[in-house]
């Protein structure tokens, strides 16, 4: 197994696989309604929906970086606003998350292993650090979502 395969495996396990830590992101999101996703049960914290939008944004940004593009995220690009809180919009959001994840994983698997030690565009860290950072990013936010899900169901 190559290092790219191992990184992709960790990304997949955290997203919708057999994660060591517990439920993967998609399992945590199961059963979440649009109302729960938009709720802010913890003061000064993001909603589930905002976090999912943030995860979606970073999937696209890191995929672009893997393709050599400079992609910076700040403000609404980093935390895209929710413009429609309907059940259909929530289902579309999750569907887009799955689509962006698959596109991202395809880009990871296609990335040349020989470039893992090279710096990512406009960064002082390598692609290796960037990809492992995405594993950490996903797990961090999945934990937040799990707590918000419990708080929103009360």
Give pTM, 2 decimals.
0.95
- Cβ–Cβ < 8 Å for 37, 48: yes
Q: Output the pLDDT for position 35.
A: 96
**Crossing angle (nearest 10°) for helices 87-110 and 48-66:** 30
pLDDT tens sequence for the chain (154 residues): 999 999 999 999 999 999 888 899 999 999 999 999 999 999 999 999 999 999 999 999 999 999 999 889 999 999 999 999 999 999 999 999 999 999 999 999 999 999 999 999 889 999 999 999 999 999 999 999 999 999 988 7
Q: Output the pLDDT for position 19.
A: 85
Q: Output the pLDDT for position 152.
A: 84
Q: Output the pLDDT for position 106.
A: 98
Q: Output the pLDDT for position 8.
A: 98
Tell me how far apart the alpha carbons of residues 25 and 51 are, in angstroms, rounded to a whole number.
11
Domains of the chain: 3-152 (1.20.120.450)
Q: Output the pLDDT for position 20.
A: 85
Q: Which residues pair with 126 in a beta bridge?
A: 119
In whole angstroms, how far apart are CA 99 and each of 5, 27, 112, 129?
20, 16, 22, 24
């Amino acid at each position: 197994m190559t290092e790219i395969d191992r990184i992709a495996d960790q990304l997949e396990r955290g997203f919708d696989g057999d994660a060591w830590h517990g439920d993967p992101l998609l399992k945590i999101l199961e059963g979440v309604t649009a109302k729960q996703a938009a709720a802010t049960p913890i003061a000064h914290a993001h909603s589930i929906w905002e976090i999912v939008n943030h995860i979606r944004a970073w999937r696209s940004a890191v995929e672009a970086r893997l393709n050599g593009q400079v992609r910076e995220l700040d403000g609404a690009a980093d935390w895209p606003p929710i413009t429609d809180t309907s059940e259909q919009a929530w289902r579309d959001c999750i569907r887009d998350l799955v689509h962006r994840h698959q596109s991202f994983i395809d880009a990871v698997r296609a990335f040349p292993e020989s470039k893992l030690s090279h710096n990512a565009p406009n960064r002082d860290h390598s692609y290796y650090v960037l990809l492992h950072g995405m594993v950490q990013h996903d797990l961090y936010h999945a934990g937040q979502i799990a707590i918000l899900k419990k708080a929103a169901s009360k």
